[in-house]
Amino acid sequence: MTGREQDILGIIESNPFVSQNEIAAKLGLSRSAVSVYLNSMYKKGVIRGRGYIIREETYPLLIGPSHIDIRNICDPIPINGVHTSVNTTIFYGGPIKNTAE
């Protein structure tokens, strides 16, 4: 995402019902320039549908039976009783495994 698209996304996150004219005024752009950026963001899947529905998932959406194993590996020695580093791995299994991959 470009820097300008990130600026627009920030505005949309604070007010999902903001108009293109309002975005343009806040960023000092023309409404048509904002429209171009929004279309690019639609194509990239950053926003979906009218009303700027933001796509927040960073994982596949899978429907059907599944097996998911989650493995966390912590520091071997905690510092002051707190593990400062955790490595999480997710393994997909079952009928959805090939879809997830």
Q: 48-74 pLDDT, tens per residue? A: 755 655 666 665 555 566 667 777 777
Both structure tokens of 49: 């549908």
Task: State the SS3 of 40-66.
Answer: HHHHHCCEECCCCEECCCCCCCCCCCC
Q: Decide if pLDDT at 94 tops 80.
A: no
Residue ranges of domains in the chain: 3-54, 67-100
- Which pLDDT belongs to residue 30? 95
More confident residue, 98 or 38: 38
If you average pLDDT over each of 8-12, 23-27, 78-82, 86-90, which comes out highest?
A: 23-27
Indicate the class that CATH gives domain 3-54: mainly alpha
